[in-house]
Amino acid sequence: RVADILEASSNPREAVVLSACRGVTDALLGLVTLAEQPDGYIASAIEQMKRRHEELAAELLSRSAYEAYRALLNKDCRDIAGVLQTVRLIRAATDSMRDVISGYGEIWSTRLFASFLRERGRIPGEVLWIDARQVVVVEWGPLGPAVQWSASERNLRQLVSKDFQGRLIVTGFVATTTTGIQTTLGRNGSDFSGSIFGALLDASEIIIWTDVDGVLSADPRLVPNAQVIDQLSYNEAMELAYFGAKVIHPQTMEPAVARDIPIYIRNTFAPQKHGTLICAHPVSALKVKGITTIDPVALVNLEGAGMIGVPGTAHRLFGALRDAGISVILISQGSSEHSICFAIPQAQAVRAEEAVRCAFDAELRDGQIQHVEVGLGLSILAVVGDGMAGAHGIAAKVFNSLGNAAISVRAIAQGASERNISLVVDGKFAAKALRAVHAAFYLSPNTLSIGLIGPGTVGRVLLAQIASQVERLRALNLDLRVRGIAGSARMLLEEGAIDLELWPQRLADAGEALDLDKFVAHCQADYIPHTVIIDCTASAEVAGNYRDWLARGIHVVTPNKKANSGPLPAYHALKEAARAAGTHYLYEA
């Protein structure tokens, strides 16, 4: 598949950076751990890894190419065994030992792919294998590996001529330090390598091939309606990456940002899709580009009258946190200076409280500071988009959606750039909050999740009417999604929307036994703004549920007369439930 993608390209010059085969890096690091144990038996583990790559090579390469690949693989495995023997003798591995061993996965995968691509013979020009250890020079510092650009460019010029035509197959993840020791670029290192080589080669674009269609507006595991974002600015992508979007790491973008190289995120398994473009000046109609969460977090609140007007309080607070090695994710302070709160990873909560209490011990004993409170089990919800700057009503839409979902906000932070609104909410409601805000921006405000009970004479005709009009109504900003159909004994539930042309057959083939509670719970999806139950039965039992449905925020539409012809107090209670919840009860069929 990867070869097909490369051969479909019309570019005369491309560099291809590959990661290791799946699981190989972890397995290599596992060898080091095994060697550190007194009874660790490493020979069979090395043999198993070698056999995996031999089988791949045997399947992909000609006999002569296979033998050449196998000879180099055997040499590498002997070298690995030698390093691991040293680890076994001293019962401990240095970081450089781990780097040397963990980098072999990329060496093996790229050697194999270069031979495979060369033998296919479908690309004009040369297929040249590049060992990134001979090119990329980095110096490790507090912020991670810093590329030494002059040395790296000089190394690359010695290996690749200016008039090169064809494909460079490059090892990802690995590099060399300024002292000549092999190192790695950390997790997501192959993406970082791609960006580094893009900068070194002055590439016109960088494409990161992954297993999703692009950067999504939210985590699809939490928000089934998440959409691919067409274009992002570098800043938007960095904000989303920091707040948990896993598609691209901020470090990956650094070389591209410095040289204004556009980055595309595309799907290896669906190369026909356009993916997401990340660039300096995106063109997009979306004001909000993504909504994401970080959890679990802890919220630490420092409160006291003695803080008001006292210079240096924040300096002391965050200096103490720095000395304790604690990273602050979010800060919020009122203009009265009576309190200041900040969010941190929950795992650091105990150390943070100790650091704060120690820093303000005298003020706490004297009563100048009254409280140091730590709230656990919280989540940060971040709404990101360059288009939010100067746009009216964005914050109102965020808070209205949370209010309608009955979610309380514990803390709020927004930078002066207006690119990010961050909120702290109870972790139990993080998914609900994410879905509510996503629905406010990415779905039509008139998206309805519909459950129909009683597909008889009336119900069947209504479904046919909806089917005939649903596209026209969508153009009018009304998105009707029939997600559940229930008969007297069976029901059909669909996560997206039921095909209204085929529902009778689907109900017969894929339906399940009727469970009215499950039916209603499915229809009331908290990532869709509105839920409607349409009761086309004449059942008093079904009508007896109207009050509860209306009270929990579900609209009811029905030609069933039973609820309106029973005891008057029950009717009044039903209408009061609708008024209290702001739901509609419509019964004139």
Within 201-233, residue ranges assigned H as helices are none
Q: According to the model, what pLDDT value does residue 247 have? A: 65
Spatial separation of the C-alpha atoms in residues 491 and 511, rounded to whole Å: 5
Measured CA to CA, the distance from residue 171 to residue 162 in angstroms comes to 20
Residue 332: phi and psi, rounded to 5, are -140, 130
Query: Could you give the residue ranges of the DSSP H alpha helices within 173-249?
Result: 189-200, 234-242
Nearest to 572 by CA among 540, 555, 547: 547
Residue 150: partners with Cβ closer than 8 Å, 6 or more residues away: none
> Do β-strands 144-147 and 137-141 pair in parallel, antiparallel, or remain unpaired?
antiparallel
What would the pLDDT profile of 365-379 be if each residue is shown by its tens digit? 888 888 889 999 999
The CB density around residue 211, as the number of other CB atoms within 10 Å, is: 9
Compute the residue count for the chain: 589
User: Would you tell me the crossing angle of helices 43-60 and 63-90 to the nearest 10 degrees?
Assistant: 160
Q: Which residue has the higher pLDDT, 408 or 445?
A: 408
Identify the pLDDT of residue 389: 81
- Which of 384, 429, 380 minimizes the C-alpha distance to 404? 429
pLDDT in tens, 65-80: 999 999 999 999 999 9
What's the confidence (pLDDT) of residue 206? Answer: 96
Cβ(288)–Cβ(440) under 8 Å?
no
Asked if the bond preceding 296 is cis, omega within 30° of 0, the reply is yes
| Residue 335 pLDDT | 62
Mean pLDDT of the 495-509 span: 93
Average pLDDT over residues 287-291: 89
Average pLDDT over residues 118-135: 94
Give the pLDDT score at 239.
Answer: 83
- Whether 343 and 330 have beta carbons less than 8 Å apart is answered as yes
C-alpha–C-alpha distance, residues 525 and 503, integer Å: 20
Residue 190 host element (H or E): helix 189-200
Question: In 275-348, which ranges are continuous DSSP H helix?
Answer: 313-323
The Cα 585–Cα 568 span in angstroms is 16
Model confidence at 27: pLDDT above 90: yes
pLDDT at 244 over 70: no
8 Å CB contact between 173 and 20: yes
DSSP-assigned beta bridge partners for residue 334: none
User: Distance from CA of residue 93 to its chain's centroid?
Assistant: 33
What does the pLDDT look like over 449-472, one tens digit per residue? 999 999 999 999 999 999 999 999
pLDDT in tens, 149-165: 999 999 999 999 989 99
Integer Rg of the chain from CA:
30
Q: In this predicted structure, what is the pLDDT of residue 305?
A: 75
Tokens representing 124?
């004009």
Q: Is the pLDDT of residue 40 over 80?
A: no
At 390 the pLDDT is: 78
CB-based burial of residue 457 (10 Å sphere; 0-12 exposed, 13-18 middle, 19+ buried)? exposed
Distance in angstroms (rounded) separating the CA atoms of residues 262 and 300: 39
Percent of the chain surpassing pLDDT 90:
67
pLDDT tens for residues 5-14? 999 998 999 9
Q: What is the DSSP letter of 534?
A: E
- Mean of pLDDT over the chain: 91
Please determine, for residue 245, whether its predicted confidence score (pLDDT) is greater than 80.
no
**Residues 158 and 120 sit within 8 Å (Cβ to Cβ):** no
Q: For the segment 301-357, what is each residue's pLDDT rounded down to a tens digit?
A: 988 877 777 777 888 888 999 999 998 988 987 665 678 889 999 999 999 999 999
Question: 491 — phi, psi (to 5°)?
Answer: -140, 155
| CA torsion through residues 7, 184, 103, 153, sign | positive
pLDDT at 332: 87
pLDDT (0 to 100) of residue 333: 78
**What span, in angstroms and rounded, lies between the C-alpha atoms of 222 and 427?**
13
pLDDT digits (tens, 9 = 90+) for 185-226: 987 789 999 999 999 999 999 999 988 899 888 888 888 888
The per-residue pLDDT for 186 is 81
- In this structure, how many other beta carbons lie within 10 angstroms of the beta carbon of residue 56? 18
CB–CB of 108/60 below 8 Å?
A: no
d(CA 375, CA 513): 44
Nearest to 25 by CA among 186, 202, 243, 180: 186
**Amino acid identity, position 63:** R
> Which pair of tokens denotes residue 41?
């038996």
Q: How confident is the model at residue 265 (pLDDT cuts 50, 70, 90)?
A: very high
Of the candidates 341, 316, 338, 342, the residue with the CA atom closest to the CA atom of residue 328: 342
pLDDT of residue 286: 84
pLDDT tens per residue, range 544-568: 999 999 999 999 999 999 999 989 9
Cα separation, 528 vs 449, whole angstroms: 7
Query: How is residue 424 annotated by DSSP?
Result: E
* CA neighbor of 562 nearest in space, from 544, 574, 579: 544
